[in-house]
Amino acid sequence: MKRLLPIALLLAACAPAVRPQPVQVWEGSARVLLTVQQYRLTFTVNPVNYALSGTLANLSSGDRFEATGTLLPGADAAELSVQITPGNVPRLNAGILGFGISGVALKSDAFLSGQVRGELFDGSLRVNGIRYPLTLRRVQ
């Protein structure tokens, strides 16, 4: 048992150190239907597999959504592809005379995609099949 302790210490010393992932915060706006909406995208990226996880907040309405996807590095720009989901939101259950709907989420899923060049994200937010141009600037 005493012989195994130095070997275990050597193996532990060779293991890569876990580095905290820096949090990135991006803010900007998009014209959705007839109004301008302010957004904040907060996320971390795993440097090994480029997996992104975080939240997208609609600052205009106060809604918050889960964000998962990738931020793939490129020669000129990084490609951001993120699925936006409302998470656990209230669901609509309604019926009249036996006909109705049940389990319909009150908030829609969305897809955020575009390119990151330096401190600027230029892309689109697709909600219910409609694309809205979105520009975000890095604030942290």
Task: Find the domain containing 110 and state its range.
Answer: 20-88+98-138
Structural domain contains residue 9: no
Structural domain contains residue 63: yes
| Cα separation, 87 vs 49, whole angstroms | 24
The token pair that represents 18 in the structure block: 């876990």
Structural domain contains residue 12: no
The pLDDT tens digits along the chain (140 residues) read 556 556 555 555 555 555 667 899 999 999 887 899 999 999 999 999 999 999 999 999 888 999 999 999 999 999 999 999 886 555 555 666 666 666 555 567 899 999 999 999 999 999 888 999 999 999 98
Structural domain contains residue 117: yes
Structural domain contains residue 30: yes
